[in-house]
Amino acid sequence: MKTQLKLKKVSGDTLVQMRQDLMAESRPSFNYMILVITACLIATFGLLSNSTAVIIGAMLVAPIMLPLRGLAFGILENDQELSRCGIISIVVGTIVALILSITLGKIVGIEDFGSEVLARTEPNLIDLGIAVVAGGLSGFTKVEKGISDAVAGTAIAVALMPPLCVIGLTLSQGFYDLSYGATLLYLTNLIGIALACMIVFVLAGYSQLKREFVITLIVASVLAIPLGISFLKFVTQLRLQTDLRNIFQEKTLTGQRVDLQDTHINWKQNPPTAYLKVRSTEPVTPRQVRLVQDFINQKMRQNFTLVFLVEDVEQVEAEK
């Protein structure tokens, strides 16, 4: 039985014009490839330097968003030519970006990745939500001509090019577990954005709700399973980090004598390593660290390795 929900419908001329516009955007043209290369280079350099500002620069260029939007419309309308054109552009753009980021990763030879890279290797349901919102904005700017594409372009680039470059960088150094996480994020964003664009096209009257949309929704639901597991893991880790911080500050003498500035836990190590950045007028000894570590592990019933990052504070009083 064919699933179809009738909503308002735009005129035939408007529909034809929309298809022509999306077809023009979805072709793997020379300009499209220049945008892919430019966005990839900026994003990769930003990731290598762990610079948020540079990565934001890459967000201003959003080439893969265009064929993805065309693909969403093509799937809804069962338009094989438009769908094929969109798929080719997305695949070609993805391959080019991967080759560039892998090459740059090999040349630089970085072994320790910064927070900007690591943040894109553990996707969860929040990332799917971001992708859906960004995709909805992209589709809305297409059906509402008065809104600039740059608005959606910035949002989409956040969701697509940086994680794609993270895949290449992590592959170049053989960190396949990180590559898997970044790949999951990239696929999540592709499907989430396409799904949201479909919804906007249906609500705006450019298409009707058909079987192809339901299939895409099912794929997104399946993808949400590992994302949900990752989200629960993220919430658990956040709670444990908060508990560790509170126990240190409220129930240890060392925690009451120093000024805790920041807490960071590396969950990829076994046992997890907790970095405590503190300011102190007195030196922190290895024995203190051991005592605090044993106390926290006992209270939390989980083993952590504690590392203190101590910033010395010298007290200077006025002369008498």
pLDDT digits (tens, 9 = 90+) for 102-131: 999 999 988 788 888 988 988 888 888 888
Q: pLDDT at position 8, please?
A: 64
The stretches in the chain having pLDDT less than 50 are 1-5
Q: pLDDT at position 155, please?
A: 60
The tokens describing 269, both together, are 């190590």
CB 58 within 8 A of CB 46: yes
Task: Assign 302 to helix, strand or coil.
Answer: coil
**Looking at the domain covering 238-312, what would its CATH class be?**
alpha beta
Q: Which residues pair with 308 in a beta bridge?
A: 276
Among residues 15, 78, 27, 2, the alpha carbon closest in space to that of 204 is found at 15
Q: pLDDT at position 5, please?
A: 47
User: CB 164: neighbour CB atoms within 10 A?
Assistant: 28
| Locus of tokens 């008065």 | 146
CA distance 139 to 136: 5
Q: Where are the domains of the chain?
A: 12-209, 238-312
Q: pLDDT at position 83, please?
A: 92
Q: pLDDT at position 89, please?
A: 95
Among residues 110, 65, 58, the alpha carbon closest in space to that of 90 is found at 65
CB 93 within 8 A of CB 29: no
Among residues 39, 30, 41, the alpha carbon closest in space to that of 100 is found at 41
Q: pLDDT at position 111, please?
A: 76
